């Protein structure tokens, strides 16, 4: 043991690198409130289409959900339990193009009450089926989930194993999200990924804008075959393994986009999904909206965002976030 603690026994380069490895913490690079790709002006035509859709939707939703907690151009946020909210959508003739969400994982976070695994799966099944009923025929559902404990059977059981076939959606594929930082385990491997279940309503008819999400980081960009460039000018298919660092927290290394919500999506990951699976002026839903990262990405790309969040505190935090984002965006368009 003494030898291991001795610096000369270290197998890796230096103490700061060791700290990185031990804590799973990446060197902090300050981020902005939102990537510049989400601060671009939206055309007048798209803005008008979003405004029309927003008026129609808000009026229909008032019958089941009352007034939104927060509304701004391109955003409707309701402070309510999403289960009855979702169940009412299809009956109101409301349909959505894309749902992108991450529910509680039943692991005792501050925003959830723990259920038995059976009850948790049944609860998930209820809202997943309601999302299916409210999704347009060419619509898509992206569900982000992690791990939970199944007593007597498993400690870190991937939630996709429990949920993947619990709705009529067609599972197109699973995407691995490698996020870099996280808890350091001592008696097992430190978890560093979560999954996205990528569902469509109809297997042969769905929106997928590959050119919107191509990865420009190509190894041999100038390679030619028969005089023609081999790779697509927009880059390569980003594959089913995505690397997006988590939103960092803590003194000195907290990201600027950090809101105080404990499970905030990084904006680039939801931006990729919104670009791939929806078009301008379409409706994007997040029933477990939290700090509304999906909302910032959707509104930032000229979609209409509809969010549900059961906690009033998180709704307040999300409303403040939208206001700062709107300010940042209007300042950006001045330059
Ligand atoms: C994993 S977090 C989502 C975080 C979000 N992706 C973000 O970027 O901030 C899940 C959220 O669902 C909310 N929630 C839990 N049960 C809910 C329910 N029945 N209806 C609506 N929201 C709920 C929690 O308060 C929490 O904010």
Region 259-283 average pLDDT: 95
Does 249 have pLDDT greater than 80? no
Ligand 1 contact via 290 beta carbon (within 6 Å) = yes
Region 296-317 average pLDDT: 97
What is the rounded end-to-end Cα distance, in angstroms, of the chain?
A: 59
Whether the CB-CB separation of 172 and 202 falls below 8 Å is answered with: no
Does 34 have pLDDT greater than 80? yes
Whether the CB-CB separation of 92 and 136 falls below 8 Å is answered with: no
Tell me how crowded residue 299 is: count the other CB atoms within 10 A of its CB: 25
Which of 189, 166, 143 shows the shortest CA–CA distance to 24? 189
Ligand 1 contact via 278 beta carbon (within 6 Å) = no
Ligand 1 contact via 285 beta carbon (within 6 Å) = no
Whether the CB-CB separation of 320 and 69 falls below 8 Å is answered with: no
Consecutive H or E run containing 199? strand 193-200
Query: Helix and strand tally (H, E) in the chain?
Result: 9, 13
pLDDT, mean over the chain: 89
The residues that bridge with 198 in the sheet, in sequence order, are 142, 173
Tell me the pLDDT band of 252, cut-offs 50, 70 and 90: low
Backbone angles phi, psi at 33, to 5 degrees: -55, -35
Ligand 1 contact via 96 beta carbon (within 6 Å) = no
Tell me how crowded residue 199 is: count the other CB atoms within 10 A of its CB: 24
Looking at ligand 1, which atom is closest to the CA of residue 85?
20
Q: What is the DSSP string of 129-185?
A: HHHHHTEEEEEEEEEEE-EEEETTTEEEEEHHHHHTTSSS-EEEEEEEEE-S--PPP
The tens digit of pLDDT for each residue in 125-160 reads: 999 999 999 999 999 999 999 999 999 999 999 999
Name the pairing type of β-strands 193-200 and 70-72.
Answer: unpaired
Determine the pLDDT at residue 119.
97
327 C-alpha to center of ligand 1: Å? 25
Burial of 152 (0-12, 13-18, 19+ CB in 10 A): exposed
Tell me the pLDDT band of 109, cut-offs 50, 70 and 90: confident
Does 22 have pLDDT greater than 60? no
Determine the pLDDT at residue 81.
97
Question: Residue for token digits 């959707």?
Answer: 298
Does 169 have pLDDT greater than 70? yes
Tell me the pLDDT band of 329, cut-offs 50, 70 and 90: confident
Which are the contacts of 139, defined by CB distance < 8 A and separation ≥ 6? 95, 96, 97, 98, 99, 200, 201, 206, 207
Region 305-331 average pLDDT: 95
Backbone angles phi, psi at 150, to 5 degrees: -110, 105
Name the pairing type of β-strands 96-101 and 135-145.
Answer: parallel
Does 334 have pLDDT greater than 90? no
CATH number of 29-212+244-333: 3.40.50.150
Tell me the pLDDT band of 26, cut-offs 50, 70 and 90: very low
Tell me the pLDDT band of 6, cut-offs 50, 70 and 90: low
209 C-alpha to center of ligand 1: Å? 27
Determine the pLDDT at residue 178.
95
Does 24 have pLDDT greater than 70? no
């Amino acid at each position: 043991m003494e030898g291991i603690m001795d610096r000369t026994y270290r197998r890796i380069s230096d103490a700061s690198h060791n700290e990185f490895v031990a804590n799973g913490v990446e060197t902090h690079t300050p981020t902005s409130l939102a990537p510049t790709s989400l601060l671009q002006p939206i055309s007048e035509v798209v803005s008008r289409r979003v405004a029309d859709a927003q008026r129609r939707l808000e009026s229909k939703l008032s019958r089941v959900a009352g007034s939104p907690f927060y509304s701004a151009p391109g955003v409707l946020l309701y402070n309510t339990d999403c289960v009855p909210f979702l169940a009412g959508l299809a009956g109101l003739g409301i349909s959505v193009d894309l749902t992108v969400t991450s529910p509680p994982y039943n692991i005792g976070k501050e925003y959830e009450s723990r259920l038995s695994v059976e009850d948790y799966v049944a609860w998930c099944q209820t809202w997943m089926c309601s999302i299916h009923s409210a999704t347009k025929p060419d619509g898509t559902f992206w569900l982000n989930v992690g791990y939970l404990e199944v007593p007597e059977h498993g400690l870190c059981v991937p939630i996709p194993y429990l949920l993947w076939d619990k709705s009529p959606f067609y599972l197109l594929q699973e995407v691995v999200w490698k996020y870099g930082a996280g808890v350091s385990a001592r008696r097992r491997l430190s978890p560093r990924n979560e999954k996205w279940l990528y569902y469509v309503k109809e297997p042969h008819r769905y929106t997928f804008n590959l050119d919107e999400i191509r990865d420009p980081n190509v190894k041999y960009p100038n390679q030619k075959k028969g005089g023609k460039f081999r790779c697509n000018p927009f880059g390569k298919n980003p594959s089913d393994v995505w690397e997006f660092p988590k939103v960092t927290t803590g003194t000195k290394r907290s990201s600027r986009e950090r809101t105080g919500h404990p499970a905030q999506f990084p904006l680039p990951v939801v931006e990729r999904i919104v670009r791939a699976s929806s078009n301008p002026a379409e409706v994007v839903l997040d029933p477990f909206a939290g700090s509304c990262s999906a909302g910032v990405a959707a509104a930032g790309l000229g979609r209409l965002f509809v969010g549900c969040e059961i906690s009033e505190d998180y709704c307040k935090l999300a409303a403040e976030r939208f206001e700062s984002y709107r300010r940042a965006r209007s300042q950006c368009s001045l330059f």
